[in-house]
Structure 1
Amino acid sequence: MKTTGFILVIIGAIMMIYTGFNYVTTEKIVEIGPIEISKEKKNPVNWSPILGGVLLLGGIILISKHSKK
């Protein structure tokens, strides 16, 4: 449980610092014989920093409960 707590603390801290990321996909627009026109599209993935805080707090609670035993 202590390892899980440390993992949650690390993930929570990262989620509070970085609130999202983008990934790029390529879409075909037109394909006429050997000629191909494509477009890169950015797809954002965002989350609330509050979620990172909840994970951070949960990890701290797991670590502290394991230390008391």
Structure 2
Amino acid sequence: MKTFGIVLIIAGIAMLIFRGFSFTQEKKIVDLGPVEINRNEKKSVNWPMYAGLIVTIAGVAIVLGGNKKA
């Protein structure tokens, strides 16, 4: 469980540093045998700052909570 918490902490910090990412998707518009017409669309995925904060806090809680012996 401790490893999962560390992964969440790293992911949360990365989400705070990088607010999102963008990528280009190629869409086929027309396909008439040997003739193709394609269009590149730029798309972006963004997340709010509090999402990274929540993931980081959850990771810290898992790491600290995993140290208790039952």
Band the TM-score falls in, shorter-chain normalisation = 0.7 to 0.9
CA RMSD after TM alignment: 1.6
Secondary structure of the residue aligned to 1:67 is: coil
**Cα distance, 1:30 vs structure 2:** 4.5
User: Shift of residue 67 of structure 1?
Assistant: 2.1
Query: Structure 1 stretch 28-37 or stretch 57-66: which is displaced more?
Result: 28-37
1:68 and 1:31 map into 2 onto residues whose CA distance is 62
Task: List structure 1 segments (4+ residues) > 4 angstroms apart after TM superposition.
Answer: 30-35
**Aligned residue pairs: how many?**
69
TM-score (norm 1): 0.82
Instruction: Give me the whole-angstrom Cα distance separating, in 2, the residues matched to 1:33 and 1:63.
Output: 57
Q: Provide the secondary structure at the position in 2 that maps to 1:68.
A: coil
Q: Specify the alignment match of 1:21 in structure 2.
A: 21
Give the counterpart letter for 2:6 in structure 1. F
Using the size of structure 2 for normalisation, the TM-score is: 0.81
The one-letter code of the counterpart of 2:23 is Y
